[in-house]
Structure 1
Amino acid sequence: MPEVDAAKIRALNDHARRSFTGCRVVITQGVQAMSDVPSILDLVRWFDAFTPDNDPYGEHDFGSFSYAGETVFWKWDYYDVDLTMHSPDPSDATVTTRVLTIMLADEY
């Protein structure tokens, strides 16, 4: 198993999250039912409240915020390019499909 390169993973995660390119984005039914999905997507894109408590590995792979009285979570999962199992190396974009899931906390 390759050694984890948190800086590369963080850079790939941040780029994909800010641009919604190089990844798949999944929005749950709860988020989709909210009145202003574009604003929620913008809050995910520009999230920067990372701390050692919510980002202990420095990969920028999870975030949460409040919107319209709801707690919204977003998180990364890393799959191989066929989406059949975990990625063998999340720091290598050539062998990884990033999936960003945006959900309400109560859907987790």
Structure 2
Amino acid sequence: MTDKAPEIRHLNDAFRRSFIGGHVLLTSGVAALDETQRRALLRSVRAFEAFDSDNDPFAEHDFGAIDLEGSRFFWKIDYYGPDMESGSPDPSNPEVTRRALTVMRAEEY
């Protein structure tokens, strides 16, 4: 865990729970779900709290796995600089960080 993990975790949780403050991306496999399934999956991403040392080794709340209707899905938050082309120099600073949350089928990982 880094000394900035609490700030990063707070920003990640706020973004993941609201989908405000970054970009939410759905892979083609998730986009192909019917609307009811897609909505249920996105609600599960927003409500996710099953963080542990296996899926969250740096305590940043930037990854999760969800089982829904017999399928496994992952979500992942990545940190980009303002240009959205390079990595963020400091994910704890929202002034220099753009977050992107990708939701995918496990087999698309």
TM-score range, shorter chain: over 0.9
* Partner secondary structure for residue 37 of structure 1: helix
Q: Which position in structure 2 is the counterpart of 1:58?
A: 59
**Length-normalised TM-score, structure 1:** 0.94
TM-superposition CA deviations, 1:41-98 (whole Å, max 9, x none): 0000000000111111100000001112111000011000111200000000000000
Residue 105 of structure 1: aligned partner: 106
Q: Which residue of 2 aligns with 1:9?
A: 8
Question: Which residue is equivalent to 2:77?
Answer: 76
User: Identity, % of aligned pairs?
Assistant: 50
Cα displacement (A) at 1:5: 0.2
One-letter amino acid of the counterpart of residue 69, structure 2: A
**What is the aligned-residue RMSD (CA, Å)?**
1.0
Residues 1:92 and 2:93 aligned together: yes
In the TM superposition, structure 1's runs of 4+ consecutive aligned residues that sit over 6 Å from their partners are none
Aligned length, in residue pairs: 106
TM-score by length of 2: 0.94
CA distance 1:48–1:103, shift in 2 (3 Å): same
Measure the CA separation in 1 of the matches of 2:18 and 2:31.
19
Deviation for aligned residue 1:23: 0.7
1:48 aligned counterpart, secondary structure = coil
Aligned partners of 1:88 and 1:50: how far apart in 2? Answer: 25
Asked whether the equivalents of residues 74 and 102 of structure 1 are also in contact (C-alpha less than 8 Å), the reply is yes
Cα deviation, residue 4, structure 1: 5.1
Q: Hey, what's the Cα distance between the residues in 2 that align with 1:102 and 1:4? A: 27
Tell me, what secondary structure is at the counterpart of 2:78?
Answer: strand
